[in-house]
Amino acid sequence: MRPLLASSLLLVAAATSAAAQRQPADSAPRRAASDSTARTLAPVHIRDRATRRSGYAPPRTSTATRTDTPLLDVPQAITVIGRSLVADQGMQSMADVVRYIPGITMGQGEGHRDAPTIRGTSSTADFFVDGVRDDAQYLRDLYNVERIEALKGANAMTFGRGGGGGVLNRVTKDASWTPTRALQLEGGSFDHRRATLDVGGGVGSGLALRLNGMSQRSSLYRESVVVERAGVNPTAALVVGGAVLRLGLEHFSDRRTVDRGIPSFAGRPSSADTRTFFGDPDASRSVVTVNGATASFEHGSEQGLLLRNRSRAANYDKFYRNVFPGALNAAGTHVALSAYASRHDRQNLFNQTDLVYTHRAGAVKQTLLAGVEVGRQVTGNYRETGYFNGTATSMSVPFASPSVAAPVSWRQSASDADNRVRATVAAAYLQDQLSLGRHLQLIAGVRLDDFSLQFENRRTAQKLERHDRMVSPRAGVVVKPASALSLYGTFSVSHLPSSGDQFSSLTATTRTLEPERFENRELGVKWDLSPVLALTAATYRLDRTNSAAPDPADPTRLVQTGAQRTDGYEVGLTGEITSAWQVAAGWAQQRAVLRSRTSAAAAGATVPLVPHHTASLWNRWQMSRRVGAGLGVVHQAESYAAIDNSVRLPAFTRVDAALFATLTRELKLQANLENLFDVRYHATSHGNNNIMPGAPRHVRVSLSVTP
């Protein structure tokens, strides 16, 4: 841990702990982390967002419908990964999380960004934090996360543009009046070192503080690959005049070697050693700094009205450059290397206001939501091409020794980007949730997004604009034959302007194209087998239309006839089988194909990184009061590395294990062993020649101190 960060964390921890100890036992509002019951201060309802019926099975969400709703009553497939499962598996990245979410795979993202494929739709922009857009391209950490919600299917009614296949929402840890004191030190294979801190509690009856911090430095299983991360996230909750005001700041940095894996050969991942780095590790670097500030205000009344406002400002400063592999020659003896550098800076500012009214008349309950969202995003994109020895954009190196230190100079080529983009959105949405007695519930909503894009090409001084008005409806019905069983059907629509999910390019042609359209139809079952065990199942069809395609009569023109369809099934089981046995399991079967030609491929092509089926099963047994064990299995069927379907990623099965020991009341020891049987596998890629080998067998050991 860096000395300055370590000193800051320890000083704040000591101050917070001392302040909490000075408080009388009954002087602050108490909020148990597993209690979803509303507590009232004057007319203010303080709800704990981290509610969960057991460690692995959260009972409610306020994200999917923007109202506090039991998961059982939401007509949509949702998988929630809570902090208990995150802790038991030692999850530290979004790639770790989606491994146990049916229907989602994580792309390689060129070694420097999260890139999930959700129901056959790949995106780097469908990320949210506390329900607010967090769409920059970087690798997120989980040090300050309470839970991660995967909401699948078109989600524009709640989240706005994009979200065609689904979204991933991180719910962060809030300041609360429940005392929290935790320090975790972790070490392991490949020189892994990580420390996290979580301290907080009430400071008087009207103020609560919390601090989450993290520092990490690790060498990975890949040669010469190093990761350095640090994060600090202080939050405060303040009761003011009958309302709750929450404030938060975050500083997060990520520095790493950009590693894009190995090339393919003869339609499969090449035989390169799992550790071999292709390219120049010293010239392949990524530096990301994220600074964010949030403020939220919530006020409830006894008349059933709730007013909520949330603002988030974030600055994303990112630079990366990489020397990476291309294709092998026909003999398999040499591989081509290329290089480029890119700077991506973004400033986000969003504000959301919701008004929720709940009314009950006999057996009928109605929850009305009206809201508005305004946002502004300014993005700068600048790219340079790498020239080997100052002249060539490609360099051939032996496959047997592909890690090089070649002199590379960086300058713009004719096609490299240098642009500035300003995106603004003003949205309004209405939703009605109606409960007609014990057995029938209806939900209907619509959102109107007014989206504008101003694009300036700094190389040519060309300025382009586009303006879209997107109407996104959602409707669903829930039938409850019994209080613990729901059958549902839903229809929802999302749109994506033709500037792409990162709106990083706009041309005179693409500015005239209509937004892509996503339509999701879904039927499902949710069954609480017990108060602490939930079973879910869903079948769905997701249609993507208005995709760009070459005009058959004139290949130089674009038309919007491209279409894609994803059909799938998924099943999930989370919670407690017995008081000593917790489980998180998922299975998905998907088929995602192009129904008509797009600019990327012809009709009939299978979408990459969509295995026909995936399965995961994690078990935790508490064998005695002091000792527990975990065992997990992840299976992924064969998939394609790219849309041309020329390279296949073989199927694989990986087994993980864990051991948990309570040494004293304050000390806990945990060991996680991943890839127990040391299986060689390739889980993901970024195209045909950037394939990431899975990690060999490795162990991480952590010591948690909770005084």
How many residues comprise the chain?
707
Contact 534, 576 (CB under 8 A): no
Instruction: Tell me the C-alpha distance between 345 and 347, whole Å.
Output: 7
Note whether 292 and 313 are within 8 A (CB). Answer: yes
Strand partners of residue 193: 187, 217
For the whole model, what pTM was predicted?
0.91
**What residues does 397 pair with on adjacent strands?**
335
Q: Please give the pLDDT value at position 79.
A: 96
3: three-class secondary structure by DSSP: helix
Select from 522, 532, 425 the least CA-distant residue to 477. 522
What DSSP string describes 405-423?
---EEEE--TT--EEEEEE
Residue 479: partners with Cβ closer than 8 Å, 6 or more residues away: 439, 440, 441, 486, 487, 488
In angstroms, rounded to a whole number, what is the distance separating the alpha carbons of residues 177 and 201? Answer: 5
Distance, CA of 304 to CA of 583 (rounded, Å): 37
Give the alpha-carbon dihedral of 35, 39, 45, 50, to 10 degrees: -20
Question: Sign of torsion, CA 16 22 27 32?
Answer: positive
**Per-residue b or e along 692-701, where b marks 16 or more CB atoms closer than 10 Å to that residue's CB:** bbbbbebebb
Predicted local distance difference test score (pLDDT) of residue 241? 84
If DSSP codes are grouped into helix, strand and coil, which group holds residue 77? coil
**Residue 100 contacts residue 574 (beta carbons within 8 Å):** no
pLDDT of residue 560: 82
Bin 187: left if φ > 0, else alpha if -120 < ψ < 50, else beta: beta
pLDDT at 457: 94
Q: CA 30 to CA 203: how far, in whole Å?
A: 12
pLDDT at 242: 84
CA distances 115 to 93, 104, 108, 221, 277, Å, are 12, 10, 7, 21, 21
Q: For residues 264 and 327, what is the distance between their CA atoms, to the nearest angstrom?
A: 7
d(CA 597, CA 562): 5
The whole-angstrom separation of Cα 654 and Cα 677 is: 8
Alpha helix stretches (DSSP H) within 262-370: none
Please state which CATH number belongs to domain 3-705: 2.40.170.20
Phi/psi-derived region of residue 389, left when phi > 0, alpha when psi is between -120 and 50, beta in every other case:
left
Return the pLDDT at 253.
Answer: 98
Strand partners, 109: none
pLDDT number for residue 3: 39
The first and second tokens of residue 380, run together, are 């700068």
In the chain, domain spans: 3-705
Tell me the pLDDT tens digit for each residue of 357-415: 999 999 999 999 999 999 999 999 999 999 999 999 999 999 999 999 989 999 999 99
Which pLDDT score, from 0 to 100, does residue 57 have?
Answer: 82
Whole-angstrom distance between the N-terminal and C-terminal Cα of the chain? 21
Q: Which residues of the chain have pLDDT under 70?
A: 1-54, 556
- What token pair was written down for 66? 């923007």
